[in-house]
Homo-oligomer: A and B are copies of this chain.
Amino acid sequence: MQIVDEILKIKKVKNTAVRTVVLRHLLSQEKAQSLKDIENALVYTDRSSIFRTLKTFENNKIIHSIEDGSGMIKYAVCVKGCNCDPKDLHYHFYCNNCDKTFCLFDVPFQNIELPENFKIQQANMVVKGLCNNCNK
């Protein structure tokens, strides 16, 4: 995989065996992944290694985390150019039926007019309901 090396290079994160497989896995999935999801997929890689890899990725803006209320933090790869700034904010969708969480990159994100003196730094926006597959 070319793209994995490219992302790590851009974000100045050293490439290692675990990092490669974790990032490759994340890129291959359409839904945001929990630590458990990744652990199940990468049977030969230790949970704590995956955990620390995810922290490293998150600290270096390679991925972002989503608290969808499922009890497990989900992770998704940032789009090219993302710096996890307020301007990079987007909604997420959690399907109550199929338990899938994903980024809604195409849904326009409205600026939020906070009260005087409030400063936004990040946000966790999760819309819950039925996805297009389950709403039938």
- Is A112 an interface residue when CB atoms closer than 8 A count as contact? yes
Known A-B contacts: A107-B112, A112-B127, A121-B130. Give 19 more (CB < 8 A): A67-B68, A67-B124, A67-B126, A91-B112, A93-B118, A96-B121, A110-B110, A114-B129, A115-B132, A116-B132, A117-B132, A118-B131, A119-B129, A119-B130, A119-B135, A120-B127, A123-B127, A124-B128, A125-B125
Can you list 10 residue pairs at the A/B interface with Cβ under 8 Å?
A67-B67, A104-B115, A106-B115, A110-B110, A116-B132, A118-B132, A120-B129, A122-B129, A124-B125, A124-B126
How many A residues face the partner with a CB closer than 8 A? 33
- Is A81 an interface residue when CB atoms closer than 8 A count as contact? no
